């Protein structure tokens, strides 16, 4: 891959096999995750996944209260 100028920014054109492996298409968002080995590109927002997991834990801990709220 080569870094190229795209307008006033720099960009990288992803090869078709990388696009297929990521299961993305034009217009999709990619997120960068910094790792000790470099940067990982992923179509999944790791921050959003963390927020969802926190919400699930909260719902499990407060299951009875949530059931009672749902009845009202």
Tokens standing for residue 64: 């009875």
Along the 72 residues of the chain, how does pLDDT read in single tens digits? 899 999 999 999 999 999 999 999 999 999 998 999 999 999 988 888 788 888 888 888 888 888 888 888
What residue numbers bound the domain in which 23 lies? 3-71
pLDDT for position 59:
86
How open is the CA angle 43-36-41, to the nearest 5 degrees?
Answer: 15
pLDDT for position 10:
96
Distance (Å, rounded) from C-alpha 71 to C-alpha 21? 44
Please count the structural domains in the chain: 1
> Model's pTM, two decimal places?
0.58
């Amino acid at each position: 891959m080569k870094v190229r100028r795209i307008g006033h920014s720099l960009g990288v054109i992803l090869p078709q096999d990388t696009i297929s492996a990521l299961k993305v298409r034009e217009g999709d968002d990619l997120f960068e995750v910094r790792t000790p080995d470099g940067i990982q590109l992923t179509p999944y927002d790791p921050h959003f996944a963390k927020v969802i997991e926190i919400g699930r834990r909260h719902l499990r801990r407060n299951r009875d209260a949530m059931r009672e709220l749902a009845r009202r």
